[in-house]
Amino acid sequence: MIIKDRGHRTKIFFYLLSSVFYLLLFACVPPPAKPPPAIEPSVSKPPPVVIDPFKPFIDEHLKKAASLEQQGEILGAIEEFKIALTIDHANDEAKVGLKRLSEMADIEAEKHYQKGLSLKKSDPSKARLEFLMTLRIKPDYQLAIEELKGWHLFVAKSRLLTPAGEIDTGVEDYLSVALSLYEDGDYAGAIQEFLKAREKYPKNPEIIKHLNLSYYKQGVAHFEKGEYKNALQMFSSLKPDFEKVGDYIKKVRAGLKKTAEDSYKNGLKLFREQKLTQAIEQWNIVLEIEPDHKKAREYIEKAKNLLKSLEQLK
């Protein structure tokens, strides 16, 4: 009984020993690592579109500057570029345009000044015109100002000896540059000078006559180049019975209508080709001619919305 009981105790001992061994074995094994939490992909939002509220005003002045430059009115174009830079001093287009035209104006002013010097002794009157032209292009040209001061002193002394009651020759001072420009075919420049002369002498028939002729000839020049909008602006400054202006106005309006139709069709073609920016430019031409053109306005809105959507997808 004792032996049997001892064997039973031995079995129980080995059973307990093996249980402890397994417990120690599993205690040393680390638990399985938990899987990392799933990271949801972040959806990046497109940056907000910043709209410059002054852009339409800047674009208007830049467009006007380009139009004036095309018409040969360099000084007017320079002023428009300066206004654009006043609104946005960092505008590259205005900076480049102003620099280019200022350099052109400097070169042109220097030509007139040098020509005036060469005529000073042989033909003082023509020399004076050249100095006036210099100041018209570059009003702060000090050397030309000094030359004209000498001229005006001479004129003042001469008038002191003129008998009382004679016709005021001041109108000639205002007309001289304008007539010179007119004779050279610079009708845009002549118009500006005749307008100045008319302010001083509003009833002078010679000024009115040449101002009207300048409007007419400049209008014809625009018409022949296909610049119908500029031509209409010139012809609209005249009475319908002046020369053949009535006939020209009819032709101009017909040309504008065709331009509007062609631009509208070009816009549709470009829109279909997904050239949205170019299409908008064509429809803007339509609106310049026909501001009430509903279809052109609707398509511009569609094209702008599409452009905005495409920008957001980038």
For 234-269, how does the pLDDT look when each residue is reduced to its tens digit (9 = 90+)? 999 998 888 889 899 999 999 999 999 999 999 999
Phi, psi angles (nearest 5°) of residue 42: -80, 135
Q: What is the pLDDT of residues 273-308, one digit of tens each?
A: 989 999 999 999 999 989 999 999 999 999 998 888
The answer to the question of residue 262 being in a domain is yes
Alpha helices in the chain (DSSP H): 2-28, 55-70, 74-87, 92-119, 124-137, 142-160, 170-183, 187-200, 205-224, 228-235, 245-272, 276-289, 294-313
- 125/240 Cα distance (integer angstroms): 37
More confidently predicted of 44 and 279 = 279
Range of the domain at 274: 244-314
CATH number at residue 292: 1.25.40
- Residue 122 corresponds to which tokens in the numbers above? 């042989």
The answer to the question of residue 95 being in a domain is no
The answer to the question of residue 309 being in a domain is yes
More confidently predicted of 11 and 88 = 88
The answer to the question of residue 63 being in a domain is no
More confidently predicted of 288 and 9 = 288
- Please enumerate in sequence order all residues whose Cβ is within 8 A of that of 272, keeping only pairs 6 or more positions apart, or say none: none
Domain count for the chain, please give it: 1
Q: What is the pLDDT of residues 60-109, one digit of tens each?
A: 889 888 988 887 778 888 888 988 888 888 889 989 999 998 898 899 88
Give the model's pLDDT for residue 162.
Answer: 41
- 67/53 Cα distance (integer angstroms): 23
- Please enumerate in sequence order all residues whose Cβ is within 8 A of that of 137, keeping only pairs 6 or more positions apart, or say none: 74, 75, 105, 108, 109, 112
How wide is the angle at C-alpha 60 spanned by C-alphas 56 and 61, nearest 5°?
125
The answer to the question of residue 8 being in a domain is no
Average confidence (pLDDT) over 7-25: 58
Average confidence (pLDDT) over 219-229: 91
Are 160 and 169 in contact by the 8 Å Cβ rule? The answer is no
Are 84 and 96 in contact by the 8 Å Cβ rule? The answer is no
Dihedral sign computed on CA atoms, order 244, 245, 249, 252: positive
The answer to the question of residue 147 being in a domain is no
pLDDT at 196 over 90: no
Residue with tokens 């007419």: 216
Give the model's pLDDT for residue 8.
Answer: 60
Give the model's pLDDT for residue 22.
Answer: 53
Give the model's pLDDT for residue 48.
Answer: 59
pTM of the predicted structure, to 2 decimals = 0.52
Question: What is the percent of the chain where pLDDT is above 70?
Answer: 75
The answer to the question of residue 180 being in a domain is no
Are 163 and 136 in contact by the 8 Å Cβ rule? The answer is no
The answer to the question of residue 140 being in a domain is no
- Please enumerate in sequence order all residues whose Cβ is within 8 A of that of 192, keeping only pairs 6 or more positions apart, or say none: 73, 76
Average confidence (pLDDT) over 199-221: 90
- Amino acid in the structure at residue 44: S
pLDDT at 47 over 80: no
The highest-confidence range among 52-66, 100-114, 142-156, 169-183, by mean pLDDT, is 100-114
DSSP character at residue 138: -
